Amino acid sequence: MFFRRLRDTKLPDILFLAVLSGLVYLPWIKGLTYNKDDWYFLYSGLVSGPEIFRAIALHTRPIRGPLYEFYFSLFGLHPYPYHLVLYFTRLLGGIGALWLFTLLWPKQRFPNFILAFLFLIFPGFLWWVSGFEFQPYVLSVSLEVLSFAFTLKSIESTTFIKRTLWLAGALLFGWIYLALVEYAIGMELFRILLVYVFIRDRQAGLSFWDVAPRVIRSAAIFLVIPLGFVFWYQFLFDNWRKAQSAGTQLNILLESVSNIVWFLVRLAQSTINVSFLAWVVPFYDHGFNGRLSQLLFGLFFAMLILGILHFVYHYFEKAAEKTTAEESIPEHKKWQIDAIVIGFIGTVGGVLPVVIANRIAVFDRFSHYTLPASFAGILFVGGWIFLISPKIMRQVALSIIVGIAALTHHAIATDAANEQKIIRDFWWQVTWRAPSINKDALLVVVYPDLDYGDGDEVAWGPANFIYYPSVRQPNDRPVAVTLAAIRMEPDAMREVILGNRVVKDVDRVVEYNSLTYNYKNILILTQPSEKTCVHALDNRWAGVSSYDNTFVLAGSKNSNIENIVKNSSAVAPPPYLFGSEPEHDWCYYFQKADYARQNGDWEEVIKMDQGAVALGLAPQDAIEWMPFLQAYSIAGNMERVRQIARLVKKDVFYKQQACQNLQALSQNGYSLSPEMNMMVDQLFCSVQ
Q: What is the pLDDT of residues 45-56, one digit of tens each?
A: 999 999 999 888
649-668 mean pLDDT: 91
What was the pLDDT predicted at 330? Answer: 43
604-617 mean pLDDT: 96
- Mind listing the pLDDT tens digit for each residue in 270-305? 999 999 999 999 999 988 887 888 888 889 999 999
What was the pLDDT predicted at 509? Answer: 43
Q: Which has the closest alpha carbon to 680: 543, 657, 604?
A: 657
Comparing 285-289, 333-337, 449-453, the range with the smallest average pLDDT is 449-453
Q: Which residues contact 230 (CB under 8 A, 6 or more apart)?
A: 185, 246
pLDDT grade for 329, boundaries at 50, 70 and 90:
very low
58-73 mean pLDDT: 90
What was the pLDDT predicted at 545? Answer: 93
Of residues 366 and 250, the one with the higher pLDDT is: 366
What was the pLDDT predicted at 177? Answer: 96
Q: Which residues contact 272 (CB under 8 A, 6 or more apart)?
A: none
What was the pLDDT predicted at 210? Answer: 79
What was the pLDDT predicted at 613? Answer: 95
637-646 mean pLDDT: 94
Q: Report which DSSP code applies to 330.
A: P
Percent of the chain with pLDDT over 70: 91
Q: Which has the closest alpha carbon to 97: 122, 73, 69?
A: 122
What was the pLDDT predicted at 454? Answer: 64
Of residues 401 and 455, the one with the higher pLDDT is: 401
Element (H, E) at 588: helix 586-598
pLDDT higher than 60, residue 328: no
What was the pLDDT predicted at 304? Answer: 94
What was the pLDDT predicted at 506? Answer: 60
pLDDT higher than 70, residue 512: no
Contact 195, 218 (CB under 8 A): yes
Give phi and psi for 500, each to the nearest 5: -130, 25
pLDDT grade for 404, boundaries at 50, 70 and 90:
very high
SS3 content of the chain, % helix, strand, coil (to 5): 65, 5, 30
Rg, C-alpha atoms of the chain: 30
Q: Which residues contact 200 (CB under 8 A, 6 or more apart)?
A: 206, 208, 211, 215
pLDDT higher than 50, residue 517: yes
In degrees, rounded to 5, the angle at the alpha carbon of residue 655 between the alpha carbons of residues 649 and 659 is 130
pLDDT higher than 80, residue 244: no
484 forms beta bridges with: 442
437 forms beta bridges with: 564
pLDDT higher than 60, residue 129: yes
199-206 mean pLDDT: 80
In degrees, rounded to 5, the angle at the alpha carbon of residue 147 between the alpha carbons of residues 146 and 152 is 95
CA–CA separation, 544 and 550 (whole Å): 10
- Single pTM value for the model: 0.91
625-631 mean pLDDT: 96
Q: Which has the closest alpha carbon to 125: 134, 113, 115?
A: 134
- Mind listing the pLDDT tens digit for each residue in 151-190? 999 999 989 999 999 999 999 999 999 999 999 999 999 9
CA–CA separation, 534 and 555 (whole Å): 16
229-246 mean pLDDT: 71
Q: List, as one string, the DSSP characters of 196-238.
A: HHHHHHTSTT--HHHHHHHHHHHHGGGGHHHHHHHHIIIIIS-
- Mind listing the pLDDT tens digit for each residue in 472-508? 877 766 788 899 998 877 777 777 777 666 776 665 4
pLDDT higher than 80, residue 578: yes
The letter for the amino acid at 338 is D
506 forms beta bridges with: 514
The letter for the amino acid at 111 is P
CA–CA separation, 543 and 664 (whole Å): 13
pLDDT grade for 245, boundaries at 50, 70 and 90:
low
Structural domain boundaries in the chain: 2-31+78-417, 584-688
- Looking at every residue in the chain, the average pLDDT score rounds to 88
204-228 mean pLDDT: 86
Which fold does the domain 584-688 belong to in CATH?
1.25.40
The letter for the amino acid at 308 is I
pLDDT higher than 50, residue 533: yes
Contact 374, 273 (CB under 8 A): no
What was the pLDDT predicted at 380? Answer: 96
| Size of the chain, expressed as the number of residues it contains | 688
Comparing 131-140, 149-158, 543-552, the range with the smallest average pLDDT is 543-552
Contact 106, 332 (CB under 8 A): no
Instruction: Give the 3-state secondary structure of residue 604.
Output: helix
Comparing 28-32, 138-142, 381-385, 618-622, the range with the smallest average pLDDT is 28-32
